[in-house]
Chains A and B, each alone.
Chain A
Amino acid sequence: MQATPRYLTPDESRRIGIVALQSEKMQRRTQTYWQSAWRKLRKNPLAMAALFALIIVLFFVLFGSRISGADYLTINARERNQAPSAAHWFGTDTMGRDLFCRVCQGAGLSLLIALICAMIQIVVGCAYGGAMAYFGGAVDSVMMRIVEILVSFPELLVTLLIMMVIGKNTLGLLIAMSITSWCGTARQIRGQLMQLRETEFVQASQMMGASPARVILKHMIPNTVGILILNLCSSIPSYIFTEASLSFLGMGIGGDAISLGVLISEGKTKMDFYPWQLFFPAIVLIFVVLAFNMLGDGLRDALDPRME
């Protein structure tokens, strides 16, 4: 009598000393999207350098004036326009104020304004874009028309006009820079969501009975967050630029508040005699923007699933 071929039971295989082949089992743990993105980002030396640079800048913005032991407002008539030295790392300005502290303070405000504007852009853009994609139909086309009209308003003109109405202060600048900034994000989100809805994996997931909540949580959001992070990273430099340029023209934040733009425009008037007063704020601005751009570039590669 011939035995039908069969697999050994675990008990039998243990008795004859064979460890069961576990070919079915995954040897390596599966990587989630975010793990693989982080792994790719970590391998990118430029992006990691940029991340490190931003952390350093943040450190100096937070603790800079405490380390150097000076104050950004103290006027010292005897130490005007000094060259960089051990006491004043970046020198002093026309009123004898420590330039290092002022640059730290200014970079802080510039970064803060850029971050807030970028967050407003993302939040409003997401809400608006999400609503367009969710409702669709007539609502979508009306909302889309509104966006189209808003984006045809030349950006700098709106910013200047709003600044005039609200006044030259930080709040005015925030509103002026955010008023049409979210339109691009809203369009992008709408496009992405609409595209996702039609993809095979979302349809397959729906076929298999996934609830709308699961589709949104597992497919919609993870596939949009990448775009949002990129958006955040690439819009921050442009806000820093706009703020600096407006302040340079005398249309930015006014009063005692200082930003990198204010410092650059102060430095410009002394450019011929005390070049470091222009040089340091400009270098810090370039440094910060460069870091954000390099990080953004690294993120673009890391977050793109096609770039394996």
Chain B
Amino acid sequence: MSFLRYALKKLAVMLLTLYLIATATFFLLAATPGDALSARVERLPETVTQRLYEKYGLNKPIMERYITTMKGLLHGDFGESIIYQGETVQSIIRQKGPVSARLGLQQMLLGVTIGLLLGLLAAVKKGSLWDYLVVVFSILLISVPNLVFALLLQQVFAGQLRLFPVIGWPKENIWLGGWEYTVLPTLAGCFGYIASYARLLKASMLDVMNQEYILTAESKGLTHREVILHHVLRNAFIPIVTYLPMSLAMCITGSFFIESVFSIPGLGLYYVNAVAAQDVTIVMGETVIISAIYIFVIFITDILYSIVDPRIRIKGGKR
């Protein structure tokens, strides 16, 4: 059965990719000058230093550490944080994952919805003032880094108008509570989605409108509305559907900077700090988990695609 073979092949590539990513991360971390302990042990006596290194296994030769790490990964054991004692990757993801996920999802929901509506407007009213406004608006949005947006929103709405808290994140009821904390970070991050989805939908709709089957549909006597709804939109959504899962996978880690501006205790910010402090186990664990989510989403997209469009399965490649 060709479908099963296709899926299995993709799965094998996925596992290989994950293994390579873990290996690359391990050796990159090992190649980094210094280590997580070097700052801590400076003033400690020699024996304590030795003990500390033994505790985290940092004194062993690199290949031995590699094998230990890989064995741990197989069992889902990433080890304990070197900087924050007693924390493991799992406990950190449990704590901080929902924070980043909520922020990312809110940004996406708002941004993608507005973006698609604007794209639709621009494509339907092509050449009109509306089209022009949407184009200019989306270029403007793309050109302002969300970092600057975040700083501006914080300064104006939190600093001067005092409508929202300057920094922070709801501590209880992490999925629904404390919405006033989430307004500004969500706004700051959604502009990118608005701009890219508006442009994507417009381009894809115009592409479809140039096809001959649209001419056929129109010459059949369908109204403009029917052509747009039944023929153009359905076909124009194919690129959007490929793009969406990628955005979803990226949205978890996507707001490093917004998290940093609003002091949101999310995964992204934590990751940056862990990299800076060379907290090997945490960096390793987070990289592998984030990459796994990312690759898994690509895998699912591929599979869904091959169900929707069997040609891809036969031709291979081409995402």
Which residue numbers of A lie inside 8 Å of B, CB to CB?
46, 144-145, 148-149, 152-154, 156-157, 160-162, 164-165, 167, 191, 237, 241, 244-245, 248-251, 264, 268, 271-272, 275, 278, 282, 285-286, 289-290, 293-294, 297, 306
Given A149-B17, A154-B291, A160-B272: A294 touches B139 (CB 8 Å cut-off): yes
Complex Cα spacing A154 to B295, Å: 9
Q: Which residues of B contact A293 (CB under 8 A)?
A: 139, 142-143
Complex Cα spacing A145 to B25, Å: 19
Top-10 shortest CB links A-B: A290-B143, A289-B143, A161-B28, A149-B17, A160-B275, A164-B32, A152-B295, A282-B148, A241-B145, A165-B31
Q: Which residues of B contact A145 (CB under 8 A)?
A: 13
Instruction: Pick out which of these stretches binds chain A: B91-99, B119-127, B252-260.
Output: B252-260
Complex Cα spacing A291 to B210, Å: 29
Does B276 sit at the interface, judged by CB under 8 A? yes
Q: What's the nearest-Cβ distance from chain B to residue A226, in Å?
A: 16
Q: Which residues of A contact B31 (CB under 8 A)?
A: 165
> Contact at B253–A152, with CB atoms within 8 Å?
no
Partner of B151, one of A250, A271, A306: A271
> Contact at B16–A149, with CB atoms within 8 Å?
yes
Question: Which residue among A148, A157, A285, A297 has the maximum number of chain B CB atoms within 10 Å of its CB?
Answer: A157
Q: Which residues of B contact A154 (CB under 8 A)?
A: 250, 253, 287, 290-291, 294
Q: Which of B268-316 contact A (CB under 8 A)?
A: 271-272, 275-276, 278, 283, 287, 290-291, 294-295, 298
Which residue numbers of B lie inside 8 Å of A, CB to CB?
13, 16-17, 20-21, 24-25, 28-29, 31-33, 135-136, 139-140, 142-145, 147-148, 151, 155, 159, 210, 250, 253, 256-257, 260, 271-272, 275-276, 278, 283, 287, 290-291, 294-295, 298, 317-318
Q: Which residues of A contact B143 (CB under 8 A)?
A: 237, 286, 289-290, 293
> Contact at B159–A153, with CB atoms within 8 Å?
no
Given A241-B145, A244-B145: A152 touches B139 (CB 8 Å cut-off): no
Q: Which residues of A contact B294 (CB under 8 A)?
A: 152, 154
Q: Which residues of A contact B271 (CB under 8 A)?
A: 157, 160
Q: What's the nearest-Cβ distance from chain B to residue A43, in Å?
A: 15
Complex Cα spacing A293 to B275, Å: 32
Question: How many A-B residue pairs lie within 8 Å, measured between CB atoms?
Answer: 105
Question: Which residue among A148, A154, A165, A293 has the maximum number of chain B CB atoms within 10 Å of its CB?
Answer: A154
Q: Which residues of B contact A237 (CB under 8 A)?
A: 142-143
Q: What's the nearest-Cβ distance from chain B to residue A198, in Å?
A: 13
> Contact at A153–B291, with CB atoms within 8 Å?
yes
Partner of B317, one of A144, A165, A248, A282: A144
Query: Given A289-B144, A297-B139, 17 more contacts at CB 8 Å?
Result: A46-B136, A148-B17, A152-B295, A153-B291, A157-B25, A157-B253, A160-B275, A161-B287, A164-B28, A164-B275, A245-B145, A245-B257, A264-B148, A271-B151, A290-B139, A293-B143, A306-B210
Complex Cα spacing A153 to B276, Å: 19
> Contact at A161–B253, with CB atoms within 8 Å?
no
Given A249-B272, A289-B143, A290-B139: A165 touches B17 (CB 8 Å cut-off): no
> Contact at A149–B256, with CB atoms within 8 Å?
no
Q: Which residues of A contact B33 (CB under 8 A)?
A: 165, 167
Q: What's the nearest-Cβ distance from chain A to residue B306, in Å?
A: 16
Complex Cα spacing A285 to B145, Å: 9
> Contact at B21–A152, with CB atoms within 8 Å?
yes
Partner of B147, one of A161, A165, A248, A272: A248
Partner of B256, one of A162, A241, A249: A249
Task: Name the residue on A nearest B31 (C-beta).
Answer: A165
Complex Cα spacing A145 to B317, Å: 9
Show 18 A/B contacts (Cβ-Cβ < 8 Å), sorted by A: A149-B17, A149-B20, A154-B253, A161-B29, A164-B32, A164-B275, A164-B276, A244-B147, A245-B145, A249-B257, A249-B272, A264-B148, A271-B151, A272-B155, A282-B151, A285-B148, A290-B143, A297-B139
